[in-house]
């Protein structure tokens, strides 16, 4: 009897060990084939990129303000839902932006004719500090570069420059990740980078052999060059996934400007007011309560943001300051909101991704609302491969104020608008440029005649468009000198066009009225100020929540 018992126990142990061995490879639920366990674990959790904090998505009332003294229809409350995303803990600082400028100067030397506009086009406008009746030369000369201002938010950056910074940041972060995981040569990002040999995330994903100018010594095949792995029969096991892919789970989504809905949701941080499935009470600012001063015992009476408190009062009385600043202040000097985000009110206002329109059209969409989609695709050359930007085909844009900026950099994939091949019989979009969808088109114009024929409606002229803004023009003459033509027409009816962007949050120049996260204003995308900065966001892939929720008792 004892012998039988021992044999049965040995049989159970051997079966258990066999099941463990077989579990090293998981069976596909689609085919039943054994799938490499590493490949099957592709649902790994997304890591937060450098500088980012997690913002769990949810529903909120967008545009809800307690005060609307303008009565301009600009804050019509709408119910919106935002997906989870990541956002910069602080505004982009001078030190962060100088790192970008230093990289551009080293990789694309301004002394070379092909690249002379790249560094200058990315540099902030330090003259924004000047005032006709104020002495601000100290900030003009020192604010961007002096170490004392290193942790202050960068200003003088227009919307286009903020977008380009976000693209650069995406590439540098993923470049470091790939180097760390053995897909790129160690220290290539500093030792081997040049104008003709640089890293682009999209180029690596679409054509890895063309990254770094096709330098195979830099773009490594993971596992290749090492001692080959062999199976039980001695046969060499073929290396797979020698280049990182999206399915590898290590390449992060792009850094970008947050949408208006994301920014407002993150700033309001209603999660701090949540009680089961409702919000208890209302918040006027990113913090709880309806006042700008702290009510906590340890810092009672201190201002919770950097803003203008009255005429001639930017920081309080000397000796005991109300908010510790007169112009901008270093980041993290005021308490974070309930999402862990700093300076979502005050310090500097911030660019968001949206094209400005007076009314939010929630009838068209109430999920991840955003106006400004311009759908593009990779440009394919005559050889059937993606076309990579080189020093000979860099595209530059001359802005309305005469500033010249690079539209793309060598090493990136050239982009073209989507065409009928992508839009044919689609219900969700029918053209590349969707900025004017349901707003700003002829049907939105007061001159549109709903009872007339289509041909008669085509006669609506440009000066009768819904958004009839000034059209300044910058050209060059035969000598290459810049000619600026200012639009002096007295028939213009609006300042709004498709190149005007939303900015959110109050700044050091603003009264408390603008600290409400729902307040919104607009500014031309190619102009800069001394009170608008920005921060980046990143989309969340995978589950909505970071961890499993438990009910609150």
CATH number of the domain to which 121 belongs: 3.90.1580.10
DSSP 446-477: TT--TTS-HHHHTT--GGGSSS-----EEEE-
Predicted pLDDT at 521 = 94
| Cα(243)–Cα(127) distance, integer angstroms | 46
Do residues 288 and 159 both lie within one domain?
yes
Residue 156: closest CA among 532, 536, 534, 535: 532
pLDDT digits (tens, 9 = 90+) for 37-78: 444 444 578 889 999 999 999 999 999 888 777 777 687 888
Is residue 232 domain-resident? no
Higher pLDDT among residues 4 and 22, named by residue: 4
Among 59-68, 276-285, 371-380, whose mean pLDDT is lowest? 276-285
Rounded mean pLDDT of 407-419? 92
- Least Cα distance to 459 among 446, 444, 442 occurs for 442
* pLDDT tens-digit map of 97-148: 999 999 999 999 999 988 989 999 999 999 999 999 999 999 999 999 999 9
Residue 283 has, within 13 A of its CA and on its CB side, a CA count of 27
**φ and ψ at 58, to 5 degrees?**
170, -170
Quick check: is 463 in a domain?
yes
- Tell me the pLDDT of the chain averaged across its residues: 85
Tokens for 249?
Answer: 């789970």
pLDDT at 448 over 70: no
Coil/strand/helix, residue 355: strand
Average pLDDT over residues 280-296: 81
Among 474, 497, 520, the domain boundary falls at 497
Total structural domains in the chain? 2
- The answer to whether 410 and 394 are in contact (CB under 8 A) is yes
Is 525 a member of any domain? yes
Q: Which residues of 252-271 are buried (b: 16+ CB within 10 A; e: fewer)?
A: bbbbbbbbbbbbbbbbbbbb
pLDDT at position 446 is 67
How many other β-carbons are positioned within 10 Å of the β-carbon of residue 251?
Answer: 19
d(CA 202, CA 251): 10
Cα–Cα distance measured from residue 429 to residue 92, given in angstroms and rounded to the nearest whole number: 34
Q: Give the span between the Cα atoms of 500 and 355, in whole angstroms.
A: 6
In 3-state terms, what secondary structure has residue 528? coil
Considering the domain architecture, whether residues 467 and 509 belong to the same structural domain is answered as no
The pTM of this model reads 0.88
Q: List the beta bridge partners of residue 397.
A: 405
d(CA 122, CA 97): 10
Q: Is residue 70 part of a domain?
A: yes
Least Cα distance to 342 among 501, 503, 502, 505 occurs for: 505
User: 319 in helix, strand or coil?
Assistant: coil
Claim to verify: residue 349 and residue 470 sit in the same structural domain: no
Which pLDDT score, from 0 to 100, does residue 500 have? 95
- Same-domain pairing of 470 and 511: no
pLDDT of 277 strictly over 90: no
Lowest mean pLDDT among 137-146, 292-301, 405-414: 292-301
Reported as a single tens digit per residue, the pLDDT across 307-340 is: 999 999 998 888 776 788 999 999 999 999 999 9
Place of tokens 């180097």: 179
Instruction: Report the alpha-carbon distance of residue 131 to residue 31 in Å, rounded.
Output: 70
CA angle 251, 253, 255 (to 5 degrees): 125
- How much is the pLDDT for 20? 47
Q: Could you read off the pLDDT of 470-504 as tens digits, one per residue?
A: 888 888 777 778 888 888 888 888 888 899 999 99
- Residues 139, 267 share a domain: yes
Q: Which two tokens stand for residue 58?
A: 């949810």
Say what percent of the chain tops pLDDT 70.
Answer: 83
Query: What percentage of residues in the chain have a pLDDT greater than 90?
Result: 53
State the average pLDDT over residues 18-31: 58
Model pLDDT, residue 478: 77
- Residues 156, 90, single domain; the answer is yes
Q: What does the pLDDT read at residue 225?
A: 46
d(Cα 81, Cα 59) in Å, to the nearest integer?
4
- For 40, 164, 184, 241, 408, the CA distances from 30, given in Å and listed in that order, are 12, 42, 34, 21, 42
b/e code 435-471 from CB counts within 10 Å (16+ = b): bbbebbebeebeeeeeeeeeeeeeeeeeeebbbbbee
| Integer angstrom CA distances of residue 165 from 97, 308, 326, 330 | 8, 29, 27, 20
Q: Based on the domain organization, do 363 and 280 belong to the same domain?
A: yes
User: Does residue 235 surpass a pLDDT of 80?
Assistant: no
Q: Say how many residues make up the chain.
A: 553
For the cut 90, the answer to whether the pLDDT of residue 533 exceeds it is: yes
Whether residue 488 sits in one domain with residue 349: no
Pair 452, 347 in one domain? no
Q: 493 with 506, same domain? A: no
Does any domain span residue 1?
Answer: no
Tell me which residue range forms the domain holding 53.
45-181+250-372+502-546
Same domain, 520 and 486: no
**From CA 164, how far away is CA 81, in angstroms rounded?**
28
Q: Which pLDDT belongs to residue 512?
A: 92
The answer to whether residue 16 is domain-embedded is: no
For residue 344, pLDDT beyond 90: yes
User: CA angle 477-483-486, nearest 5°?
Assistant: 150
Highest mean pLDDT among 239-248, 376-385, 454-463: 376-385
Decide which of 464, 479, 497 is a domain's last residue.
497
**Does 61 reside within a domain?**
yes
User: Coil, strand, or helix at residue 55?
Assistant: strand
pLDDT in tens, 169-215: 999 999 999 999 999 999 999 999 999 899 999 999 999 999 999 89
Structure tokens, 168: 């650069």
CB–CB of 154/92 below 8 Å? yes
Q: Are residues 507 and 363 in the same domain?
A: yes
The whole-number average pLDDT for the span 438-443 is 71
Is residue 157 one of the residues assigned to a domain? yes
């Amino acid at each position: 009897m004892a012998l039988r018992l021992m044999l049965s126990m040995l049989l159970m142990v051997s079966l258990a060990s066999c099941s463990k061995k077989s579990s090293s490879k998981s069976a596909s639920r689609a085919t039943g084939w054994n799938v490499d366990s590493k490949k099957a674990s592709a649902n790994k959790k997304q890591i937060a990129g450098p500088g980012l904090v997690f913002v769990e998505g949810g529903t909120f009332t967008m545009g809800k303000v307690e005060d609307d003294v303008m009565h301009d229809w600009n804050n019509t409350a709408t119910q919106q839902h935002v997906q989870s995303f990541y956002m910069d803990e602080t505004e982009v600082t001078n030190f962060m932006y100088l790192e970008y400028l230093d990289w551009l100067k080293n990789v694309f030397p301004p002394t070379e004719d092909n690249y002379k506009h790249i560094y200058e086009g990315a540099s902030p406008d330090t003259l924004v500090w000047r005032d006709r009746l104020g002495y601000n030369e100290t900030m003009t000369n020192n604010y961007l570069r002096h170490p004392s201002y290193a942790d202050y938010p960068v200003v003088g950056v227009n919307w286009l420059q903020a977008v380009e910074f976000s693209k650069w940041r995406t590439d540098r972060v993923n470049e470091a990740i790939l180097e760390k995981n053995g897909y790129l040569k160690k220290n290539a990002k500093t030792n081997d980078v040049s104008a003709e040999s640089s890293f682009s995330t999209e180029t690596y994903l679409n054509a890895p052999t063309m990254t770094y100018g096709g330098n195979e010594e830099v773009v490594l095949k993971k596992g290749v060059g090492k001692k080959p792995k062999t199976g039980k029969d001695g046969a060499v096991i073929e290396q797979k996934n020698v280049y990182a892919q999206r399915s590898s789970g290590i390449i992060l989504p792009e850094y970008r400007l947050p949408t208006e809905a994301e920014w407002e949701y993150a700033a309001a941080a209603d999660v701090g007011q949540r009680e089961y499935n409702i919000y208890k009470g209302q918040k006027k600012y990113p913090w709880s309560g309806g006042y700008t001063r702290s009510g906590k015992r340890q810092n009672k009476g201190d201002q919770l943001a950097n803003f203008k408190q009255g005429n001639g009062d930017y920081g309080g009385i000397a000796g005991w300051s109300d908010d510790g600043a007169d112009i901008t202040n270093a980041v993290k000097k005021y308490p974070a909101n309930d999402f862990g985000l700093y300076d979502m009110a005050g310090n500097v206002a911030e660019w968001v991704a949206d094209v400005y329109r007076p009314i939010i059209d929630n009838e068209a969409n109430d999920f991840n609302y955003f106006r400004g989609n311009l759908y593009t695709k990779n440009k394919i050359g005559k050889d059937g491969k993606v076309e990579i930007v080189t020093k000979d085909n860099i595209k530059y844009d001359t802005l309305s104020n005469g500033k010249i900026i690079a539209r793309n950099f060598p090493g990136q994939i050239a982009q073209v608008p989507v065409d009928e091949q992508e839009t044919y019989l689609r219900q969700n979009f029918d053209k590349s440029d969707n900025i004017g969808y349901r707003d700003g088109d002829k049907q939105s114009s007061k001159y549109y005649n709903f009872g007339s024929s289509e041909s008669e409606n085509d006669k609506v002229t440009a000066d009768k468009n819904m958004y009839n803004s000034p059209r300044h023009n910058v050209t060059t003459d035969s000598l290459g000198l810049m000619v600026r033509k200012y639009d002096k027409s007295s028939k213009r009816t609006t300042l709004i066009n498709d190149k005007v962007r939303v900015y959110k949050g109050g700044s050091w120049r603003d009264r408390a009225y603008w600290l409400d996260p729902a307040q919104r204003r607009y500014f031309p995308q190619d102009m800069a100020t001394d009170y608008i900065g920005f921060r980046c966001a990143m989309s969340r892939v995978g589950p909505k929540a970071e961890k499993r929720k438990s009910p609150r008792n």
